[in-house]
A = this chain, B = another copy of it.
Amino acid sequence: MEAATLKDIARELNISVSTVSRALRDSYEINAETKRLVMECAARLHYRPNPIALSLKGSSSKAIAVVVPQIANYYFSQAINGIEEVANRRGYDVLIFQTHETYEREVANLRQAVARRVDGVLISLSSESSSILHLQELQQQGMPIVQFDRVSAELNTPRVVADNFGGAFAATEHLLKTGRRRIAHLTIQPWLSITQERLAGYRAALEQYGMPYDENLVRFSTFGPDEVGPLVNELLALTPRPDAFFTASDRLAVGCLAALHQRHLSIPEDISLVGFTNLTVADMLSPSLSTVMQPALEIGQVAVGRLLDLIERKHRAEPPSTVTIPTTMVLRASSQLAMTEQSFI
A interface residues with partner B (beta carbon < 8 Å): 1-3, 48, 50-53, 55-56, 61, 70-74, 77-78, 80-81, 84, 93, 95-96, 98, 111-112, 114-117, 137, 141, 226, 228-229, 251, 254-255, 257-259, 261-262, 279-281, 284-286, 288, 343-345
Tell me the bound Cα distance from A133 to B98 in angstroms: 32
Tell me the bound Cα distance from A285 to B254 in angstroms: 7
Contact B258–A344 (Cβ < 8 Å):
yes
The residues of B that contact A55 with a CB separation of less than 8 Å are 52
Contacts A/B (CB < 8 Å), 17 sampled: A1-B137, A1-B141, A52-B115, A52-B116, A70-B77, A72-B74, A93-B112, A93-B116, A228-B345, A229-B345, A251-B281, A254-B281, A254-B284, A257-B286, A258-B344, A259-B345, A262-B343
The residues of B that contact A56 with a CB separation of less than 8 Å are 52-53, 56
Tell me the bound Cα distance from A175 to B272 in angstroms: 35
The residues of B that contact A51 with a CB separation of less than 8 Å are 115-116
The residues of B that contact A2 with a CB separation of less than 8 Å are 141
The residues of B that contact A116 with a CB separation of less than 8 Å are 51-52, 93
A221 to chain B, nearest CB (A): 13
Q: Given B73, B226, B284, which contacts A345 in the complex, CB threshold below 8 Å?
A: B226
Tell me the bound Cα distance from A2 to B53 in angstroms: 20
Closest residue on chain B to residue A112 by CB atoms: B93
Query: Known contacts A284-B254, A345-B255: does B115 contact A50 (CB below 8 Å)?
Result: yes
Contact A117–B52 (Cβ < 8 Å):
yes
Tell me the bound Cα distance from A161 to B6 in angstroms: 42
The residues of B that contact A280 with a CB separation of less than 8 Å are 251
A87 to chain B, nearest CB (A): 12
Contact B345–A48 (Cβ < 8 Å):
no
Query: Known contacts A48-B115, A115-B51, A116-B52: does B285 contact A258 (CB below 8 Å)?
Result: yes
Which 5 pairs, one residue from A and one from B, show the smallest C-beta to C-beta distance?
A229-B345, A72-B77, A261-B286, A254-B284, A258-B284
A222 to chain B, nearest CB (A): 14
The residues of B that contact A53 with a CB separation of less than 8 Å are 56
The residues of B that contact A137 with a CB separation of less than 8 Å are 1
Among A2, A3, A78, A96, the one with the most B-chain Cβ atoms within 10 Å of its Cβ is: A96
The residues of B that contact A257 with a CB separation of less than 8 Å are 284, 286
A237 to chain B, nearest CB (A): 16
The residues of B that contact A344 with a CB separation of less than 8 Å are 258, 262
